[in-house]
């Protein structure tokens, strides 16, 4: 099982209370207390990933950790001797004093995923708009365009590997589930800039190269269908699920790039040649993939229980998630209607 080392730096009196509470669990998790200078102490606890978020929320609400206190989370490769996962105690273990741990006074089962702060930190970095991100977008778009021009799936796979399109997509879904508007704007801006820049790069290449719109690699991406929408939903759901569980982001990134970079490059190449009808088909495929990935991403985040730690934030997040899911579902239905009508089999 995945393990984390929880390091809690608080006032010494609070540290003693936390250590005592840990010792009352059956069986108690491995924990230690180290006294520091200035009246502070450090509590270290070894926990499995599934119970980490529940424990940190409980600590924040029960012990009123102040601005000078910190909870640090470290990954652990192994613990010797091996830990046996403790059984969850029955009944209500909500902290006394403020009434709940952010879930209305009832403990919910721990989600089988990483802590939301781990997910937030990684997504914030991946979705950041930077010169390196934009350079990778341009390079991956050019490589994908060359793969389409040469009808080479091997080159297309290389473009998908370097395309940095995973972060902004997952960050949009994650931000919607938390009601985090700054992160949502941040991710939307990065994704919009990536799409525009990738399209312009492919258009520049298409303006100076002879492009055959009837080639299999091109034709496949200019006639979207409902099957492509189903593929986008599956890719978005699988990608978000793998990411929240802490599985390899490289594989997940390729999965998302499969749906986005080739049609984007195809649209740019065809637009550069003046093939506007075919370019519109490729853009429709990319739009369908963006909608499907985000709709599935929000749904999986809700399924995985991604939510803030406090009850007032949870109310705002619940409204945000419902609105986001409703918007994406409406767009999904609209896109399905467009694909069924304009791109139905001849």
Residues 101-150 have pLDDT tens digits of: 444 444 444 457 777 777 887 788 778 888 999 999 999 999 999 999 99
Least confident of 15-24, 65-74, 169-178, 318-327: 65-74
Q: Is 208 exposed, middle or buried (0-12, 13-18, 19+ CB in 10 A)?
A: exposed
The angle formed by the CA atoms of residues 292, 296 and 297, to the nearest 5 degrees, is: 115
Looking at the predicted structure, is the pLDDT value of residue 299 above 70?
yes
Tell me what pLDDT residue 252 has.
Answer: 64
Rounded distance, CA 91 to CA 70, Å?
29
Rounded distance, CA 12 to CA 4, Å?
23
Show Cβ contacts of residue 203 under 8 Å, excluding neighbours closer than 6 positions.
268, 269, 271, 272
**Most distant CA pair in the chain: distance in Å?**
77
Radius of gyration of the chain measured on its C-alpha atoms: 24
Looking at the predicted structure, is the pLDDT value of residue 256 above 80?
no
Q: How many CB atoms lie within 10 A of CB 290?
A: 25
Cα of first residue to Cα of last residue in the chain, in angstroms, is 52
Q: Tell me how far CA of residue 340 lies from CA of 168, 234, 291, 331, in angstroms.
A: 28, 19, 16, 14
Tell me what pLDDT residue 345 has.
Answer: 65
> Edge-to-edge strands of the sheet including 3-11?
31-35, 40-48, 3-11, 70-76
Buried/exposed code over 49-58 (b: 16+ C-beta within 10 A; e: otherwise): bbbbbbbbbb
Q: Is 342 exposed, middle or buried (0-12, 13-18, 19+ CB in 10 A)?
A: exposed
3-state secondary structure of 88: coil
Q: Which segments of the chain belong to CATH 3.30.70.100? A: 1-110
Q: Would the pTM count as exceeding 0.85?
A: no
Structure tokens belonging to residue 314 = 């949870």
Identify which of 336, 152, 324 has the alpha carbon closest to the alpha carbon of residue 228. Answer: 336
- The answer to whether the bond into 27 is cis (omega within 30° of 0) is yes
Rounded distance, CA 316 to CA 182, Å?
14
% residues pLDDT > 70 (the chain): 83
Q: How many CB atoms lie within 10 A of CB 276?
A: 10
Tell me what pLDDT residue 71 has.
Answer: 84
Q: What is the pLDDT of residues 163-201, one digit of tens each?
A: 888 788 889 988 888 888 888 999 999 999 999 999 999
CATH topology of domain 1-110: Alpha-Beta Plaits (3.30.70)
DSSP type of residue 30: P
What residue spans of the chain are helical by DSSP H? 12-23, 49-63, 116-126, 131-149, 153-162, 166-178, 181-208, 216-219, 226-244, 249-272, 276-303, 311-342
Q: If you average pLDDT over every residue of the chain, what do you get?
A: 81
């Amino acid at each position: 099982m995945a393990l984390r080392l929880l390091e809690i730096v608080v006032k010494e009196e609070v540290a003693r209370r936390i250590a005592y509470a840990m010792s009352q669990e059956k069986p108690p998790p491995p924990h230690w207390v180290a006294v520091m200078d200035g009246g502070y102490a450090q509590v270290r606890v070894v926990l499995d990933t599934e119970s980490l978020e529940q424990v940190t929320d409980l600590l924040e609400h029960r012990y009123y950790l102040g601005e000078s206190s910190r909870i640090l989370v470290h990954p652990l490769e192994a613990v010797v001797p091996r830990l046996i996962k403790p059984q969850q105690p029955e009944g209500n273990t909500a902290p006394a004093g403020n009434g709940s741990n952010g879930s209305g006074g009832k403990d919910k089962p721990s989600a089988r995923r990483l802590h939301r702060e781990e997910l937030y930190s990684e997504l914030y970095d991946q979705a950041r708009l930077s010169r390196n991100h934009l350079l990778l977008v341009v390079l991956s778009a050019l490589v994908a365009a060359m793969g389409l021009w040469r009808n080479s799936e091997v080159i297309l796979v290389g473009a998908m590997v370097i395309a940095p399109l995973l972060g902004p997509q997952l960050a949009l879904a994650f931000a919607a589930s938390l009601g985090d508007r700054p992160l949502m704007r941040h991710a939307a801006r990065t994704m919009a800039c990536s799409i525009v820049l990738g399209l312009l790069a492919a258009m520049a290449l298409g303006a100076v190269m002879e492009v055959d719109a009837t080639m299999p690699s091109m034709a496949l991406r200019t006639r979207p269908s409902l099957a492509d929408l189903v593929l986008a939903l599956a890719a978005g759901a699988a990608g978000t699920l793998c990411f929240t569980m802490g599985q390899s982001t490289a594989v997940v990134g390729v999965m998302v790039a499969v749906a986005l970079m080739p049609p984007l490059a195809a649209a740019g190449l065809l637009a550069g040649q003046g093939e506007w009808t075919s370019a519109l088909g490729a853009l429709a495929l990319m739009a369908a993939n963006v909608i499907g990935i985000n709709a599935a991403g929000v749904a999986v985040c809700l399924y995985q229980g991604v939510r803030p730690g406090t009850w007032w934030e949870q109310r705002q997040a619940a409204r945000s998630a419902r609105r986001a899911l409703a918007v994406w579902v409406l767009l999904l239905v609209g896109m399905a209607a467009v694909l069924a009508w304009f791109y139905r089999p001849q």
